[in-house]
Amino acid sequence: MIRAEQSLVLPPIPTSARQGREFARQTLNAWNIGELVDDVALGATELITNAVRHAGHAGTDIILTLALDGQLIVRVRDGEPALDHPLVGHIADPYATSGRGLHLVAAISTDWGVTTLDDGKEVWFALALPATDTDDAEVFELDDRRHDGEQRASRSDPGVAI
């Protein structure tokens, strides 16, 4: 697998999640792994939103990085060194409007975590790459599946409904 990495610097504002999704879509399509777009968009949105909500007051930019090296790693870095330890086993109130983001990230990823840095923290998740050695589905002809002696109809036969 070819190693690749792309990053996008985002301001700590709510619309950054949308910008991050678009960047991820374009990057994954350029890397020919568009099958991962939905999961990456969901996970990146959750992590960027958390960075804006919990670290946006720090006034530093948020950095979204996609790294490809045998798996896809999605990282979101912010400038807030304080680390609120997530309550992964905690279930959010069913009527709460927040509190499910890291549960979603955990559900879609093969692994995830938080790395503390001197100047902030980085929350990341990993996804397995789609298999590339599988054959495309074979399309078979209906004629090959019919029994011998059956009348064969085609769209060109008048009066035959198919």
Whether residue 147 contacts residue 111, with contact meaning beta carbons closer than 8 Å, is answered with no
Q: What does CATH list as the number for 4-127?
A: 3.30.565.10
Sheet harboring 72-78: ordered strands across?
Answer: 4-10, 62-68, 72-78, 120-127, 111-117
Beta strand residue intervals within the chain, DSSP E? 4-10, 62-68, 72-78, 111-117, 120-127
Predicted TM-score (pTM) above 0.95 = no
Q: What is the pLDDT of residue 156?
A: 47
Can you tell me whether residue 63 is helix, strand or coil? Answer: strand
Distance, CA of 160 to CA of 89 (rounded, Å): 61
* CA 112 distance to own-chain centroid: 13
Q: What is the DSSP string of 84-106?
A: PPP-TTPPPPTT-SSS-HHHHHH
Q: What is the pLDDT of residue 139?
A: 44
Distance, CA of 25 to CA of 4 (rounded, Å): 15
Helices (H), the chain: 16-30, 37-55, 101-108
Can you tell me whether residue 104 is helix, strand or coil? Answer: helix
- Taking only the tens of pLDDT, the chain with its 162 residues reads 569 999 999 999 999 999 999 999 999 999 999 999 999 999 999 999 989 987 777 678 999 999 998 999 999 999 887 766 555 555 655 555 455 567 788 888 899 998 988 888 999 999 999 986 555 444 444 445 444 555 544 444 445 444
Give the position of tokens 């001197």: 118
In terms of Cα–Cα distance, which of 35, 105, 109, 24 is closest to 67? 24
